[in-house]
């Protein structure tokens, strides 16, 4: 994937007129032949930022710490695991609580990364039109739980300086933006009516929704309990109360339901259906499928 670099040039009089005495135009210039740059940065409370702009788009991920993002009309709280989407020329300021010294991942990216993709123009438009209150989003939400891993993979690619690292980094960044767009545009359908759910129960419900969407991935009870920030024992108890099933039976039930749809819908090989629905062993797939349906995948299809 080859992307032609655009020259941002020197800020003209019109752009300079946007700035007041306490504002600075900060140009995060991308290195030559680079369209994405990622690095970690530690902020210090005794070095506050004035209101400023960037000529380059920026995505921030709060690794640790908390504070506020000050925009033209909004003051937004920011916490650990938050994403901050800051498009170029947006006036903003970050402030942090005393003794906080937060650490953030900084991703600078140009508009050029959206070129060459059929969805690029609409995705860039989506990012530009994000309302101020939507500029900050927590990745603790079940739909965005994979974002921190994608950021780590981006950092690995950039540091590795291996062949085509820029292209892979761009693809991972676009995946983050697509996940964000899906999250902002879709309405969440509650798994079950819970009028008095506790904060812990809501976290477990989020993992249930995550399983329903990501059933094809390698999912373990340990991983889901960590996602809910509780012990395995507590997770098992709450999961059973909310879903009426054990974790394994709930996961296998979802996978078998999708397998039934695939078997009815197309002529894919049973082996393909097995792996497509998250099972890693064909004999185990046959065993679980028969346990839920009373028949084998082959007989069910015919």
* pLDDT tens by residue, 147-176: 988 999 998 888 777 778 888 999 999 999
pLDDT bracket for residue 115 (50, 70, 90): very high
Residues 152 and 240 in one domain: no
* Helical packing angle, 199-213 and 247-265, nearest 10°: 30
Mean pLDDT score, 200-224: 91
For 32, phi then psi, to 5°, come to: -55, 135
- pLDDT more than 70, % of the chain: 84
282, 297 in Cβ contact below 8 A?
no
Residues 258 and 217 in one domain: no
For 168, phi then psi, to 5°, come to: -65, -40
Q: What's the pLDDT at 28? A: 66
Number of domains in the chain: 3
Q: Is 247 exposed, middle or buried (0-12, 13-18, 19+ CB in 10 A)?
A: buried
For residue 106, tell me if it sits in a domain: yes
Residues 219 and 106 in one domain: no
Residue 91's contacts (CB-CB under 8 Å, 6 or more residues apart) are 18, 23, 51, 52, 53, 71, 72
Mean pLDDT score, 190-195: 47
Q: Identify the domain containing residue 230 by its residue range.
A: 199-244
Residue 232's contacts (CB-CB under 8 Å, 6 or more residues apart) are 221, 222, 225
Please name which of 302, 236, 293, 227 lies closest in space to residue 267, comparing C-alpha atoms: 302
How do 24-26 and 57-64 pair as beta strands? unpaired
Percent composition of the chain: helix, strand, coil (DSSP 3-state, to 5): 45, 15, 40
The model's pTM is 0.70
For residue 7, tell me if it sits in a domain: no
Residues 216 and 281 in one domain: no
For residue 64, tell me if it sits in a domain: yes
Please name which of 74, 83, 106, 89 lies closest in space to residue 12, comparing C-alpha atoms: 89
Residue 58 pLDDT exceeds 80 = yes
For residue 190, tell me if it sits in a domain: no
- Could you tell me the CATH number of the domain that includes residue 271? 1.10.10.60
Q: What's the pLDDT at 116? A: 87
Q: What's the pLDDT at 47? A: 60
241-275: per-residue pLDDT in tens? 999 999 999 999 999 999 998 998 877 889 999 99
Residue 12 pLDDT exceeds 80 = no
Residues 224 and 80 in one domain: no
For residue 9, tell me if it sits in a domain: no
Q: What's the pLDDT at 15? A: 41
Among 16-25, 60-69, 133-142, 248-257, whose mean pLDDT is lowest? 16-25
Among 17-31, 223-237, 252-266, whose mean pLDDT is lowest? 17-31
Torsion angle, alpha carbons of 95, 98, 103, 107, to 10:
0
Residues 236 and 264 in one domain: no
Q: What's the pLDDT at 219? A: 93
Q: Is 200 exposed, middle or buried (0-12, 13-18, 19+ CB in 10 A)?
A: middle
Residues 59 and 140 in one domain: yes
Residues 80 and 179 in one domain: yes
Residues 205 and 112 in one domain: no
What DSSP line would sit under 166-200, residue for residue? HHHHHHHHHHHHHHHHHHHHSPPPPSS--TT--HH
265, 204 in Cβ contact below 8 A?
no
Q: What's the pLDDT at 267? A: 78
d(CA 188, CA 97): 33
């Amino acid at each position: 994937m080859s992307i032609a670099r655009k020259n941002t040039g020197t800020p003209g009089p019109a752009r300079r007129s946007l700035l007041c005495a306490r504002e600075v135009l900060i140009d995060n210039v991308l290195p030559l032949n680079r369209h994405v740059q990622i690095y970690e940065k530690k902020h210090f409370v005794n070095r506050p930022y004035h209101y400023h702009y960037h000529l380059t788009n920026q995505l921030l991920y709060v690794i640790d710490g908390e504070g506020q993002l000050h925009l033209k009309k909004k003051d937004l709280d920011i916490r650990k695991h938050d994403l901050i989407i800051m498009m170029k020329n947006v006036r903003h300021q970050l402030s942090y609580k005393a003794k906080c010294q937060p650490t953030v991942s900084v991703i600078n990216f140009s508009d050029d990364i959206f070129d060459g993709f059929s969805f690029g123009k609409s995705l860039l438009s989506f990012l530009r039109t994000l309302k101020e209150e939507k500029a900050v989003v927590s990745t603790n939400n079940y739909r965005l739980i994979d974002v921190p891993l994608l950021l780590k993979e981006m950092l690995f690619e950039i540091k590795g300086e291996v062949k085509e690292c820029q292209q892979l980094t761009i693809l991972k960044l676009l995946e983050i933006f697509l996940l964000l767009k899906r999250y902002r545009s879709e309405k969440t359908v509650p798994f079950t009516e819970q009028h008095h759910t506790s904060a812990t129960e809501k976290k477990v419900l989020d993992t249930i929704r995550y399983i329903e969407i990501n059933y094809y991935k390698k999912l373990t009870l340990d991983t889901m309990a960590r996602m809910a920030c509780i012990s395995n024992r507590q997770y098992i108890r709450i999961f059973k109360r909310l879903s009426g099933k054990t974790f394994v039976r709930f996961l296998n039930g979802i996978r078998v339901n999708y397998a039934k749809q695939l078997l009815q819908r197309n002529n894919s090989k049973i082996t393909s259906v097995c792996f497509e629905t998250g099972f890693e062993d064909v004999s185990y797939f046959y065993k679980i499928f028969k346990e839920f349906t009373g028949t084998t995948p082959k007989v069910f299809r015919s």
